[in-house]
Homo-oligomer: A and B are copies of this chain.
Amino acid sequence: MLGQLYTVGSLRDTESGMAFAVKNRLFDATLVGIESLRVDGDDVPLGHVHLAVGDELLPATTVSPVRPLAFALKDVVGIHVEGRKVGTGTHTIDIAWRSDPFGPLSFSVTDSVVERGPRADGIPRADDNYSTDVIAARQRYITEKTGVELHHVNQYSFDPALTHGNVENFTGVAQVPIGLAGPLRVNGEHAQGEFLIPLATAEGTLVASYNRGMKVLNESGGVTVTVVDDCMQRAPVFIFDSARESRDFKHWVDEHFAEIAATAESTTSVGKLLYIDTVLAAKFAFLRFNFSTGDAAGQNMVGRATFAACSWILEQVDSVRRFFLEANFATDKKASQVNIMRTRGKRVVAEALIPRHVLSRVMRVHPESLFYHAGVANVGSFLAGVNNNGLHSANGITALFIATGQDVANVAESSAGVIYTDLTPDGDLYLSFTIPSLIVATHGGGTALATQRECLEILGCTGRGSVNKLAEIIGGVVLAGEISLASAISSLDWVSSHEQYGRNR
């Protein structure tokens, strides 16, 4: 998620002048020179300015390439100005400095000196916001505000500090039941062998249904799964005076890809910029940056890298009039045709050749029924305008996402799917399921949380280079669910038609 890049706050008058704080919300940088400071349009002599870093006050004039000031992401630098007061009201502050590696940056911000009203948010907080005390205070606060005594939400087995970076105002946990399915035999390039599948769900029959499908797959020799594509996106938009400049810009971007990539990749040791899809409309150029992101899902990684690239671009290209880091062409946490067509996260194909005797025996249905149903359901899918012509891949994906600490909101795009079935000349069933935009990680996000890490361990998906293994397992589980539900639906047809024929007896 994005944040303002630099924000100014805590504007106030001090005894000897005024002060405020600047927070770095961009990414790691080093200040190598303060160039100017203006308050409400007036230049302030830099000799009157000090920077507060930790406990010490540093004269602004001393910041230089030889005496740089580290200013990492989330760092706050206080700025003190002697001899000028601001008073109540809204004030504008313009700052220009030089940073490494981003060069000269200047920005203009406003802040207000106000009488603080009552806090809009009464939730207890503390400096160490993950301490036992403050968590207990929040739990009591709930009881006070709502009358609800917590007996379960407040029970968890791990050190809450572990959730730092995963949740703010930690107050307890949701305990989601895990049912065990499998083993499932997976013939992947990364996942090879039998896997026990922990499914976190509250939907009755889900585990049983997937388990039946796994039995079919196992008896068919296992499920073959392949990760066929892999990329994560951020899609800024550049706005011009007219379409003509946006078209020229597209060409410029193509010509400067190497430099753009180098700048983007300077912000990450893992991410690689693969290519940029540029789409033009009106006077806008949407650039969909595609990165590889290692074992991380990578949304934050590519956000930072894309912003760095865009900052560099903005330095080079005069014709840009406005810029947003995102404008719904990525498309994060949403189902979209661009994700289906151009991939987001992993593109995974699971396949199996299911002998007709296996299907008949385990699921009590013939391949022809499933195949016929798939054809009819394709028409239904077309009429409905749906992002998945299969049946319920979201069920298995969600249960595994919760169990393994994925960002579960990515079910939105991960729910897309393409089912394809075929009958062999021998009457066996070829069944495949393509997940075009599966967002998974084995590093970062919630993957290090306590139960989540254990579930990843059960799957053998921890450590460097394990993310494709996880993607393959998920693909296999999804196919199990499809074969199971497809069989159930098709056997309804079979029962029903008998009921129908039976009524005339």
Contacts and interface: CB of A to CB of B under 8 A. Distances in A.
Contacts of A325: 489, 492
How many copies of this chain does the complex contain? 4
A360 B247 CA distance: 32
A21 to B, nearest CB: 14
Contacts of A152: 157-158, 450-451, 454
Given A120-B218, A418-B379, A498-B107, A153 B198 contact: yes
Determine chain A's interface SS by DSSP, over half rule. mixed
Contacts of A201: 166-167, 408, 446
Interface string A324-338: 111111111111111
Nearest to A330: B384
Interface residues of A, number: 204
A211 B392 contact: no
B387 A387 contact: yes
Nearest to A436: B281
A70 interface: no
Contact of A503 (B103, B307, B488): B103
Interface in A398-417: 398-399, 402-403, 405, 407-412, 415-416
A347 B247 CA distance: 10
A19 B489 CA distance: 27
Interface string A464-505: 000000000000000000000100111111011111111101
A117 to B, nearest CB: 8
6 contacts: A35-B505, A36-B505, A106-B501, A111-B364, A325-B489, A375-B375
Given A311-B499, A331-B380, 4 more contacts: A142-B196, A153-B454, A176-B449, A284-B376
